[in-house]
Amino acid sequence: MIYKRVPLLDRHLERTFMIFSYLAVAFIIFWGVIDRFVFSNQQPWSTTIPPLLFMIMAWFGATYNVRLRSHLSFSEFRSAMGRKGQMACLCLDNVLWMAFSIIVIVTTARAAALSAANFQIVLGTDNTMQWWFIITAPLAFLLMAARVIENTLEDFKNYREGKDLIHQAVIGGGE
**Residue pair 147/66 in contact by the 8 Å Cβ criterion:** yes
Phi, psi of 162 (to 5 degrees): 75, 15
Which pLDDT value is given to residue 114? Answer: 98
170 residue type, one letter:
V
**Alpha carbon distance 26, 119 (integer Å):** 28
Of 88, 21, 102, 9, the closest CA to residue 56 belongs to 21
Question: Residue ranges per domain, the chain?
Answer: 2-161
Low-confidence ranges of the chain (pLDDT < 50): none
Cα pseudo-dihedral 132, 135, 140, 144, rounded to 10: -170
Beta bridge partners of 121: 129
Which pLDDT value is given to residue 67? Answer: 87
pLDDT in tens, 84-120: 999 999 999 999 999 999 999 999 999 999 999 999 9
Cα 126 to chain centroid distance, Å, stands at: 28
| Exposed/middle/buried for residue 121 (C-beta within 10 Å: 0-12, 13-18, 19+) | middle
